[in-house]
Structures are given as C-alpha cells and as structure tokens.
Structure 1
Amino acid sequence: PTTSEAIPAFARQTGAACLSCHFQSFPTLSAFGRAFKMGALTDVGEQALVEDEALSIPAVLNATIVFRPQVNNTKVATTGLPSVTSKEISYGDQVVLIGGRIGPNAGAFVELGGGAFGNHQLFTSFDFGGFKGGINYQSSGFGSDAALQLGNTWGQHGGMMNMRVTSANQYIEGRGRATGGLFGAGQYASLAAWAGNDMGAIQLGLVAPSDGTAFGVAGNGTFKAATIVRANGFFDVGGMTAGVGGIFITGNVGSNGQYNVPASFALDPATGLVVPVPGLAVGQLEMKRWGLEASLEGEMGDSQFGLYADYASAKASSATKTNVFNPSLDKLSGWGLRGTVKPLHNLVFGLGYNSMKAGVVKDKTFHIGAEYEFYQNFVIALTYTNNKVSTPVSTTKTTTTLLDVEALL
C-alpha cells in the first residue's frame, strides 16, 4: 500500500497515489501537485469520462467526506489577572469536499459545510507551448492569493500540523480575516489571471474581503477591489527543491465609509443583559501588505525534510483609512521560520517560531508538532503552541495543546 493523507477525490480521478501530489504529507504540495493545480485539476487516469461535443467530465462525482474530532486544552495567563484554562472536545472541518475536472480546461474545488460554501475555487488552464495560463476565481479562507497558491510556507498548503501558524504572512492574512469579520467578510475573494510552468508562476488580479458570496458582503458588494501580484519560483539545487516567492497587495476596497460598522446592541452572556456594542469607523477600507518567502525541500538518506522562512509587512491604518491587514496605527511586520522532518514513512515532526511587532506590541509564537499516519487517509497529530503578546504594561501568554484526528473518506 502507498502511504497517503490527502483528498481521495483527486486520487480517484487521477489514479495516482496521494503522495504523488504531496511532499511529506497533506496538504504540502510536490512538483506533481503544482503541475496538477496549474492544469486546473483536469488530469484523469483510468477513470471513465463522459464525453461529447463541448463535454468532458468524470463519469462519477469525485467527493471526499472529512471527519475531524479534536481535543483541545488552552490556558491563558495575563499580567495581574487569574489564569483561565479551557478544555473541550470539538469537531472542526466536518465538510464534504468536491473537486476535479469540469471540462478539458477547467476544474473546481468546493468545500460544503454548514450553510453556504466554506471555500470555493474555480480554475482554468490553457496550454501556450512553453507555459500555461488562465483566469481563476476563489472565495475562501485559504488566503488572499488562493486563486493559485503553489507555495508551502503559508495558506492552503502550509497546514500540515498547523505549522503555518508560525508564518509571518499567515499571521497578517489572519489579521485581515479578523478585520473583515467585523462587517461580515471573514474570507477573501479574488479574480486573477496567471501564467506559469514547472519553474513557477505569477498571478495578477483583484482581491477583496468576502462573506463567501461576494466582493464585500451580499447586498453590500463592490467592484472596487485591491490589486494583487503574487509570484513563486521553484528550482532544482543539488537534487533538492528551492522555492522563493513574493506577494504585493495595494488598493482601496469599496467607497469611503461603505464598510463602517454601525453601533448595535447585543446580549451579554456574562450578565444576561442587553448592552450597547460600539461601532467601528472604518472610513476608507484598504488592503496594503507585502511579503517574501523561501523554502528548501529534499531528502537526506531515507528522511525527507522541509525548511521554510518568510517575512511580511502591512502598512499602518490612519484616522481616515483602515488597512484590512493591520487596523493598528503602527506598521505591522515580522518574520517566521520553521522546519519539518519525516524520518519514517508514516511519521512527521515539525518545529517553528515567529516574531511580529506593531509599535510597542510584540507577538511571538512557538509551535511544535508530531503527526502519525495509522493507515491511508487516517492520521493523528499532537501539537503544542505557546503564544506571548507583550506591551510595556502587560503580557498575555496563551498555551494550547491540541490532539487532532483527521479521517478522509
């Protein structure tokens, strides 16, 4: 049997082992996985196709059901306050994944959870000889660049053992989702043209916060979005794969005052009383950030290893403009570094650290994890995260131990 921990829907369509597309473990991409994605998820192995004029689809709908129970222990300690410990069993990512070919030059990936689509991506790919290109659309929680994510440092493919929590770019992307969530747009939507080959790709497009259905929120959408430029390069270095990349986002979203959050009233669960909730004077919403990344993936003897580093920066907000990626009045910037090693065919270890700063506020995270695969598409991961946020007057330390069981059907 072939060890794997990936989306069985794609394995069914391609007839290829899951680790053909993934390095070490799901969801980290290999060279084959990047090619499959730049091919718009259209590659088919021995699976039958239904074909006619202007029709070429798999004979079956390729889907995956995710089961993901988790056991979480979190302790929060703040200077001058009693520490708070919470323990819970939760069930995250209980979704149905549907993905693959919808035509010779188009494919899609969709997550169906409670309510509307959790994540959806539409890919197109056309062969221009020495390179491929297309126009992609996405609305997801994967990141602002999810129209075509190929790197493993942050975003959709940095999630193994949640190691992306130590990525500086992932940190800033998370800030953006939190800011957008204040007015109901906790995801990103983007429309981007792209071109690439086995040496890398570049995408150029428009991006905005999204509620999962629109640029903005349903009933309050916009055509006015920020510009995104994203590039990745991959090179062979002594039998290893070196990756470099960058992202640049700039521009306004919507009109001035369009996404102000009005004052309201809400039930306070602590007192049972209805209390006022302050509004948020967003002013002109904008998206301004940039970042760099570097990676090295390869083998040493029978072991696979991965090294990942990145830097990210987001412009400060002002009295009249709110940067989605950084609502602080100070510039936000920092770096992240992590490594993973796979000494056995079904065992992976990871270790990472990042350091972020906005003015006098420092935010540092240490993360360590181990993942064991019992058999195909059934893994268990144990992670420990230590996060410390400090200011001149106080420090908040949050430690989280998570047992994560993931089974994919």
Structure 2
Amino acid sequence: MTNDSTTPVTQAAHRARTAAAAIAPLPRAAKDAALAAVADALDARTAEIVEANAKDIAKARAAGTPDAIVDRLTLTPERVRAIASDVRDIVALPDPVGEVVRGSTLPNGIDLRQVRVPLGVVGIIYEARPNVTVDAAALCLKSGNAVLLRGSSSAYESNTALVAVLRDAVAAAGLPADAVQLVPGESRDSVTELMRARGLVDVLIPRGGASLIKNVVENSTVPVIETGTGNCHVYVDAAADLDMAVDILVNSKAQRPSVCNAAETLLVHAGIADVFVPRALDALADAGVTVHADTRIAAHAEGSKATVVAATEEDWETEYLSYDIAAAVVDDLDAAVAHIRRYSSGHTEAIVTGSQPAARRFTQLVDSTTVAVNASTRFTDGGQFGFGAEIGISTQKLHARGPMGLPELTSTKYIVTGDGHTR
C-alpha cells in the first residue's frame, strides 16, 4: 500500500478501515439502535446544529452566494426534524447485508450462495447541502459501511456540528465513532488526498455540480460511482391533458428549483403549441419562472405576463437550479427524444400524454435513469421511491443507476460450501 500514513486524511482513512471491519458483521439490531440514537440526538441538539448553520449562512450571504445555493445550505429546525425523520425511516428499512442474491446446489453437491456484503469505506464528496452529511452517514451505517464525509467549506460549521452529533450517538450505542468521520481540512488538498486513497477507500461518491463530479471522475484513483447533474426535461405531447400538463410542469420546475430532479427544459409538441404555450407561460410567470425560449415559444409570448428571454445554445445544456427554464416547440415525439438525447444529463425526463403508444415509445427511446409518464420529475428521489434517504442519484450504468438506497451501498461475495469437495 503506497498511501502516506502520516497525513490527517490518510490517518482518518485508516481509522475508517478499522471501523468498517468492526461494523460489517454486526446484526441489524445493533445498527438500528445506533441509527435510532442518531435520530434522537438530532432532535435533542437541533438548536446547536441550527446555530452552527447560521454561521455558514451568514458567511454565504456576505459572499453574495446565489439564493438557490443558500437554500440548499440552510438548516431550519423543521429541516433538522425532517432529517431525523429520514433516519428513522432508514431504521425501518430491511438490512441488505447478508441477503442472498442468488443461490443453488450445483450438480456436484456444492452449495453456492451470492450474498450482499458492505462496500467497506465509502467516501462522499459533496457541496453545500449539510443534510447529505446525515443521509450519507445513516445509509452507510445501515449497510455496514464506514463513511468519510468531505463537504464543501461553505458548510463547514454545519457539517462539523452534525458529525459531532453523529459520532457521539454512534459511540453511545456501542459502535466505533470512527465509522463516521469528517475528512480533515478545508483545502482542495484534502479532496485530492481522498481521491488518491486507493486501497484505503473502497469507493467515492461525488454529489454536487458538474465541475465537482467531472473533477472526481477524471482524477480519482479510487473507484467512483458517478452521480450526475439534473438537466431534466418535461415533454408535453399532442395527446396531453393540458390541465395535467400545466400542473406537472409547474411542480417539476418550481416546487423546489434548487434540486437535481427539478425540470430545466420544457418541450411542447407543435400540434398543441398554440393552445398550451400561452397557458404554460402564464403559469410559469405566476410561479416566478423566467423562460429562456426558442423562437417558436417566443411567438406566443405577446400578451403573456411571463418574463421571456431568447434561448442560447448554452441554455439547452444548463442545470439552472433556479427559477429559470428553457423551452422549445418540437415537431413530434421523435424530435423531443432527439433533443433529450442530445442535451440531457441522463437524470429524469417526463412525458405528459394520454396516448399509451406515445408513452411506450418515449419510455423505450429515452435513455435516462428515470422516465416519468404523467408525473412530475420531482419524484426521482430515494425517499419518494421508498428507499429511505438516498446517497445520491447515479447517472452511470455500472453497479447502480438512479436513486441509490441501501442495496446500492453493498457489493456481493460468493460463499461456496462443500463436504470435502476437491476439483
């Protein structure tokens, strides 16, 4: 192993590896008890957490941080209670460790089982969302993994407070506190060290903007599960119920625009554009959304109360994370699919249609982690899918794809049981 064991980051990774070996064989009851203690501690120490978060918020506002990022950063008492509730939801979920994925008795009498096992040490690199600190730690603990958390410097005070709460609760429940650690340091050097800790860290999961994910994917020597940005689309088909389409569009875009499953592009079938686009523009205006429109959308803007600006090529590729949406009229479903395949980040796309053939063709042709039919893009979420709080939404195609819950934080091993068998 070539890692320099003298650096704080590498020392933390060694401690995590020791903790991972200790928690991997634990029964579900022991892990659930620790998670229940975590949830109780979050409730009991909410004021302490919110106070630390306020320091990050003040620093962010002083630096002119966009409102969408400040929203991601903010922890209110209600949000802390929701995070604690998410942890309790994870307690109620089945433990994937030890699950038999497949098994059989071979013709020679050997018993063969493929079972789920923890990944080991999981590193999470993420931006500006302190709730990820708890979500990631809880999911990793439940699945028998140790976790190294490297949040952004913008959330340093919040993450430090949260990890202190987590470690105290885990230790009080009899598990090693080093199963949950904040990666030491606020500089980029600590991120680089974590990415180079091959042999100590089993997998890295980046959560954040495109530049963060690109940096980790391209520069890490530790295996990476790539989570992706959310350039999500809503396509309103010729056979759509227009009332439904307006509701789905506004919910997808404006219910919480700062998250990765918010819609960033609207595509409208030319056959209904005359009727639907004016309604959509007014509804988006009521929600405070600026529309970055192609010429065919813009042609319907006269008399609308919407704020409409001309779309550029860059708009089709942009994850706004704000009250902005790109919009275009397309000739048909195949043109919508072609647009999505060109510009989508592979996260979530939705079709609104009353036509089963159209829905079937759209779901077959669109190559994203999630395709919604007559439903908001906002449902692409581990909690909404019943997985508990997710570790991220993987847009890659290896090992895990889509919202990553507990099973996605495991690998497998084969157990071969014989009776003196030799080959």
Instruction: Identify the TM-score tier after normalising by the shorter chain.
Output: under 0.3
Query: What is the TM-score normalised by the length of structure 2?
Result: 0.24
Higher-Rg member (1/2): 2
Query: What is the TM-score normalised by the length of structure 1?
Result: 0.24
| Larger strand percent | 1
| Larger helix percent | 2
